[in-house]
Amino acid sequence: MTTIWLVPLVLTTVGLLLVAGFARRVAEEAAAFRRSTARLGDLRPALVEVRTRAQALAEARDDLRARRSR
């Protein structure tokens, strides 16, 4: 009967260890997400170039269609 006080202590310890483990994993995933998001910034110049070329192609297409309809 004297060891029954160990049950809440053990359960609390296990719970705290689980929470600490999950918190560590969340922190690692957040750091990985932050790094991944930072790499997306490197794509910005390429995306601007793609958008510019797409606009130029759309204008050329519209110009060709306008010439054909004359």
pTM of the model: 0.54
Residue 1 — very low, low, confident or very high, per pLDDT cuts 50/70/90?
low
Tell me the pLDDT tens digit for each residue of 22-68.
999 999 999 999 999 888 888 889 999 999 999 999 999 999 988 88
Closest by CA position to 9, among listed 30, 17, 41, 43: 17
Q: Which residues of 43-68 are buried (b: 16+ CB within 10 A; e: fewer)?
A: eeeeeeeeeeeeeeeeeeeeeeeeee
- pLDDT of 42 reads 85
